[in-house]
Chains A and B, each alone.
Chain A
Amino acid sequence: MDFFNNHNKLFGAAFLLFIGLTAFVAVLPAINNEQNNAPLPGSAPLSEEAVRGKALYVSNGCVACHTQQVRNVDMDKVWGNRPGLAADYASNRRTDFWRNTATLMGTERTRPDLTSIGSRQPSLEWNLVHLYNPRIVIKQSIMPAYPWLFESKAEPAKEDVVVRVPDTFQKQGLTLVATQDALDLVAYLQSLKQTELPGSTVSPAFLYQKQEQKSEPTGEFTPSKTEISESGQMLYATHCQACHQENGEGLKGAFPPLKGSTVVLDKDPSLIVNIIMKGYDAREEYGTMPAVGANADLNPEQIAAIINHERSNWGNNAPRVSVQDVEQIVQKIKKMPVQ
């Protein structure tokens, strides 16, 4: 055909088809999205430190392994209370003259999603230790260590933030101190929380829910003992282990041991349920514990499984708690006035 033998017409046609489709699938949807979305009313802008921390997050390529998107599928429930919305990303603007917008949604989840890491792991102590070398707190972790965000000093100044790490991880006789960069980065991580939707808005549903296995209505459904201990171990690994460690011994100077802990072994489970649901910051020598139970929306069965796992491992030997007891305590906590 003559049309195809004319280079102007041939490549002109290919070019027009290409930019037409580009407009349709990229440019117009992007502009439309930009114009029709605004940050949620409840969302707080990043603090100055968090802005600097985000720049560090970008420059060290954290997005290569950490996503920041809770998809609307059931399996992503562990990473947030609701699926992400376009509005969640609306406050991201061009970084500066040199650098593009950093939405940081990511495409790889080699390591955990960080959408709500600020609620899941708000502890400054944990984050600093983990950044200095992740394997201090999570021995299976393959995250890089970031020692250049820290300094070793013989005599730390008064205002220095001291990071307590095991002796094997630092030089003898020196004290490890967080630089401003490390504090900025943690400030950014602490700022990562899902904003609550305004009052009347219903959050979109998580899709592909697993079908609940319905037990026979007549016979009572009682899970076997091994099932309970397995789920207790799994839940402990997900929610507790990063600080209190797999062996229950915690980390000296950072996270208290559960092995032999009077709180864990106490016959009355009120205090431990309280701590799990509301967090704890009563002891100065240890880091702050977040409200793990409330953040992850744990139900009484799950809380009981965790407590029973802690009560029957590492040489601990305390009577099991029942789901009913836990449920009563949780109800009581919920009725208490919000502080």
Chain B
Amino acid sequence: MAAYLGGIEIMDLAATLQQRKDALDFTLSHNELSGALPANDHKGLINNVEYEAPLPFVARKRKAHVRPKVEPPLSRLITWFVITATFWLVFGTTVGEYIGIKFVSPDADQFSWLTFGRLRPVHTNAVFWGWASLAMLGLGNYVVPRVSNTNLFSIPLGWYSLILINMAVLLGTLCLMAGINNGGGEYREYIWPVMLLFSFGLLLTLINFFKTVARRSTKEIYISNWYIVSSVIFAIVIVFVAYVPLWQNGLGETIIQGYYMHQGVGMWFMLFTLGIVYYFLPQQLNKPIYSYSLGILAFWTQILFYKLIGTHHFVFSAIPWWLQTVAIVGSVGMIIPVVAGTTNFMLTFKGAWYKITDSYTLPFFLTGILFYFTGSLQGTAEAFRSTNLLWHFTDFTVAHSHLTMYGIICFLLWAGIYALMPRITGQEAPQITVGAHFWLALIGLLFYTIPLMYGSTMRGLMWMEAKSFIDSVSFMAPFWLWRAIGGSLMWLSHLFFAYNLYRMIVVPGTVDIKETAFEKLGSIDHVS
């Protein structure tokens, strides 16, 4: 040891000790990664910077991409379509909620204008022709020119059709409440002058869309426009067949009724909405649609099979037996377009599933697609003769129509609106109220449908065992209560949606430059 110490050179020692001391004294300077220069975004790459982020109460989602502005005339048109649609949604479901309560409390009121039988068609027609149709057309006015890479053929035509359809729903609602209806066929309760306004609106839309597609600057017609333009053509045919008084006597009326009520759902709402999804889903995922040919297969098979299934609402009735059989076969055939469509959408999601957690529109799309699969296949399951024994005439049908019209159509329309409005106005809804809308609507729908499906299955069994009818009424009481509870949640979610739409449209805290400037000047004068 002594020999070792003697051998060390003083200079070496000092250097080593200094090095060791520096090492022990080392601390981070806190700008190792950023460098010493002040932060500056020369190229404008960073958006949405928040300097003082609050504690996140819910998961934060990605904001909408900033896109080039849509030309103002089209923006205004689309915005008014969506506003009036939302009005009819809130109105129609307020009525729906109220008649749901009447199952629990039949003496809630005793006014003729508010009696159950009159309000029920007010509810269904307002959400069909008011909410869903106007929302679809609003989105369609954006999608059709966009995928044709051109401008909308005519803005005024769009306005006329908006006004005509709104007038139809308003007049129709008043007529129904006053006790004027067309004869009691479901969704055909508006009398013909009212429906004439509606179909004029559709006709103008068709001209507008068709001419837009005709002057497209792309070679091919994008699949969205196959679905959208065809559905407008079909809707006009359906309304024509349903209202022309040439083949409506006796059972003819019922055969047409089966055709009309189901084509309205499948060929108007479903087909149009699928067209919207074929545009917005790939766009929101930032990926091309998985398969163009699956989309084409689904298109033609949907027309072929859906067309046939109307009379499955009248199985075992006096309608010709062969026609009932055709309807059942068609209902089974519907598996093809439904599986093709769902597969196409799901495989478009493939490799991009992680984006769902990041987005507030994609959960709406995914929910709509899942209900598209389950709800449509449920429809097939309900169409057989054996299942008709059990479920026909019960509230199972009501649960099914809500799983589909609400679970599929409404969720997909909301998805489209949340995707589109920020492009139009540059404003986004608060994510927390979008979340509230989504979860209340979804949970409400499940509360509504699941107890109702269970209860009505049991009720069907009671009928098959020839139990007394009034017992089957008492038996349903708790399930009708669940329906009212679920309905209340759904209704609440629509208030959130209306608020969100308000936030997407109205620009907050706009400063009137002129007024502020004069105010400023005034205050200076005062001081001096």
Residues of A within 8 A of B (CB): 4-5, 7, 10-11, 14-15, 17-19, 21-22, 25-27, 29-31, 33-34, 37, 58-65, 67, 69, 71-73, 75-76, 78, 83-86, 88-95, 98-112, 133-135, 138, 140-148, 207-208, 234, 237-238, 241
Given A60-B118, A102-B184, A22 contacting B259 (CB threshold 8 A): yes
Please tell me if the beta carbons of A61 and B120 are within 8 angstroms of each other in the complex.
yes
Is B283's CB within 8 Å of the partner chain A?
no
**Chain A residues in 8 Å Cβ range of B383:** none
Interface band, chain B: 35 or more
Q: What does the 1/0 interface line of B218-259 toward A look like (CB < 8 Å)?
A: 011100001001100110010001010111111111111101
Instruction: Select B397's contact among A92, A108, A147, beta carbons within 8 Å.
Output: A108
Q: B200-214: which residues lie under 8 A (CB-CB) from chain A?
A: 210, 213-214
Q: How far is the CA of A18 from the CA of B40 in the complex (A)?
A: 61
**Chain A residues in 8 Å Cβ range of B256:** 26-27, 30
Please tell me if the beta carbons of B247 and A31 are within 8 angstroms of each other in the complex.
yes
**Chain B residues in 8 Å Cβ range of A106:** 184
The residue of chain A having its C-beta at the shortest distance from the C-beta of B112 within the complex is A148
Q: Which of B71-79, B301-309, B405-413 contacts A (4 or more CB under 8 A)?
A: B301-309
Please tell me if the beta carbons of B117 and A62 are within 8 angstroms of each other in the complex.
yes
Known contacts A22-B237, A64-B117, A75-B466; can you find 17 more A-B pairs with CB under 8 A?
A10-B221, A10-B226, A11-B229, A15-B233, A25-B259, A25-B310, A27-B256, A67-B393, A99-B191, A102-B183, A102-B253, A107-B313, A107-B397, A135-B106, A140-B470, A146-B110, A208-B389
Q: How far is the CA of A106 from the CA of B254 in the complex (A)?
A: 9
Is B116's CB within 8 Å of the partner chain A?
yes
**Chain A residues in 8 Å Cβ range of B486:** none
Query: Closest 6 A-B residue pairs measured CB to CB?
Result: A61-B117, A109-B393, A59-B179, A71-B316, A30-B252, A26-B259
Given A18-B234, A234-B468, A107 contacting B316 (CB threshold 8 A): no
Q: How far is the CA of A90 from the CA of B253 in the complex (A)?
A: 10
Please tell me if the beta carbons of B471 and A34 are within 8 angstroms of each other in the complex.
no
Please tell me if the beta carbons of B179 and A60 are within 8 angstroms of each other in the complex.
yes
Q: How far is the CA of A76 from the CA of B210 in the complex (A)?
A: 49
**Chain A residues in 8 Å Cβ range of B184:** 58, 61, 63, 102, 104, 106
Is B431's CB within 8 Å of the partner chain A?
no
Instruction: Select A18's contact among B116, B253, B307, beta carbons within 8 Å.
Output: B307
Is B437's CB within 8 Å of the partner chain A?
no
Q: What are 24 A-B contacts defined by CB distance under 8 Å?
A: A5-B221, A14-B230, A18-B230, A18-B307, A22-B241, A58-B184, A60-B115, A61-B116, A72-B316, A89-B254, A90-B250, A92-B249, A98-B180, A99-B191, A101-B248, A102-B184, A102-B253, A104-B184, A105-B254, A107-B313, A107-B314, A135-B106, A141-B106, A234-B467
Q: How far is the CA of A75 from the CA of B469 in the complex (A)?
A: 11
Q: B138-164: which residues lie under 8 A (CB-CB) from chain A?
A: none
**Chain B residues in 8 Å Cβ range of A95:** 183
Q: How far is the CA of A117 from the CA of B526 in the complex (A)?
A: 86
Residues of B within 8 A of A (CB): 102-103, 106-107, 110-112, 115-118, 120-121, 179-186, 188-189, 191-193, 210, 213-214, 216, 219-221, 226, 229-230, 233-234, 237, 241, 243, 245-257, 259, 267, 296, 300, 303-304, 307-308, 310-311, 313-320, 323, 326-327, 389, 392-395, 397-398, 463-464, 466-471, 473-474, 480
Closest CB in chain B relative to A153 CB, distance in Å? 18
Closest CB in chain A relative to B88 CB, distance in Å? 20
Q: How far is the CA of A62 from the CA of B120 in the complex (A)?
A: 10
Q: How far is the CA of A101 from the CA of B311 in the complex (A)?
A: 18
Q: How far is the CA of A135 from the CA of B106 in the complex (A)?
A: 9
Q: How far is the CA of A106 from the CA of B186 in the complex (A)?
A: 8
**Chain B residues in 8 Å Cβ range of A26:** 241, 255-256, 259, 310
The residue of chain B having its C-beta at the shortest distance from the C-beta of A108 within the complex is B393
Closest CB in chain B relative to A285 CB, distance in Å? 26
Q: How far is the CA of A76 from the CA of B304 in the complex (A)?
A: 33
Closest CB in chain B relative to A152 CB, distance in Å? 13
Instruction: Select B181's contact among A31, A59, A89, A238, beta carbons within 8 Å.
Output: A59
Closest CB in chain A relative to B487 CB, distance in Å? 16
**Chain B residues in 8 Å Cβ range of A148:** 110-112
Please tell me if the beta carbons of A25 and B253 are within 8 angstroms of each other in the complex.
no
Please tell me if the beta carbons of B314 and A11 are within 8 angstroms of each other in the complex.
no
Please tell me if the beta carbons of A34 and B118 are within 8 angstroms of each other in the complex.
no
Q: How far is the CA of A123 from the CA of B130 in the complex (A)?
A: 43
**Chain A residues in 8 Å Cβ range of B317:** 69, 71, 84, 105
**Chain B residues in 8 Å Cβ range of A59:** 118, 179-181
The residue of chain A having its C-beta at the shortest distance from the C-beta of B124 within the complex is A64
Instruction: Select B303's contact among A17, A25, A63, A135, beta carbons within 8 Å.
Output: A17
Q: How far is the CA of A61 from the CA of B256 in the complex (A)?
A: 19
Closest CB in chain B relative to A263 CB, distance in Å? 23
Given A11-B210, A103-B251, A144-B117, A21 contacting B395 (CB threshold 8 A): no
Please tell me if the beta carbons of A99 and B182 are within 8 angstroms of each other in the complex.
yes
Q: How far is the CA of A5 from the CA of B392 in the complex (A)?
A: 44
Closest CB in chain A relative to B295 CB, distance in Å? 12
Q: How far is the CA of A320 from the CA of B210 in the complex (A)?
A: 79
Instruction: Select B251's contact among A33, A58, A65, beta carbons within 8 Å.
Output: A33
Q: How far is the CA of A195 from the CA of B219 in the complex (A)?
A: 64
Q: How far is the CA of A29 from the CA of B189 in the complex (A)?
A: 23
**Chain A residues in 8 Å Cβ range of B319:** 86
Please tell me if the beta carbons of A31 and B252 are within 8 angstroms of each other in the complex.
yes
The residue of chain A having its C-beta at the shortest distance from the C-beta of B103 within the complex is A142
Please tell me if the beta carbons of B110 and A145 are within 8 angstroms of each other in the complex.
yes
Q: How far is the CA of A316 from the CA of B482 in the complex (A)?
A: 40
**Chain B residues in 8 Å Cβ range of A142:** 102-103, 106, 473, 480
**Chain A residues in 8 Å Cβ range of B251:** 30, 33-34, 37, 86, 89-90, 103
Closest CB in chain A relative to B122 CB, distance in Å? 9
**Chain B residues in 8 Å Cβ range of A109:** 393-394
**Chain A residues in 8 Å Cβ range of B229:** 7, 11
**Chain A residues in 8 Å Cβ range of B467:** 234
Q: How far is the CA of A88 from the CA of B253 in the complex (A)?
A: 13
Q: How far is the CA of A7 from the CA of B179 in the complex (A)?
A: 44
Please tell me if the beta carbons of A75 and B318 are within 8 angstroms of each other in the complex.
no
Q: How far is the CA of A92 from the CA of B253 in the complex (A)?
A: 9
Q: How far is the CA of A102 from the CA of B310 in the complex (A)?
A: 18
Please tell me if the beta carbons of B107 and A33 are within 8 angstroms of each other in the complex.
no
**Chain B residues in 8 Å Cβ range of A29:** 255, 320, 323
**Chain B residues in 8 Å Cβ range of A58:** 181, 183-184
Q: How far is the CA of A327 from the CA of B380 in the complex (A)?
A: 48
**Chain B residues in 8 Å Cβ range of A98:** 180, 191-193
Please tell me if the beta carbons of A25 and B463 are within 8 angstroms of each other in the complex.
no
Instruction: Select B219's contact among A5, A14, A83, A94, beta carbons within 8 Å.
Output: A5
Residue from B251, B255, B311, B313 having most chain A Cβ neighbours under 10 A: B251
Please tell me if the beta carbons of A100 and B255 are within 8 angstroms of each other in the complex.
no
Please tell me if the beta carbons of B254 and A103 are within 8 angstroms of each other in the complex.
yes
The residue of chain B having its C-beta at the shortest distance from the C-beta of A7 within the complex is B213
Q: How far is the CA of A33 from the CA of B319 in the complex (A)?
A: 9
Q: How far is the CA of A19 from the CA of B233 in the complex (A)?
A: 10
**Chain B residues in 8 Å Cβ range of A104:** 183-184
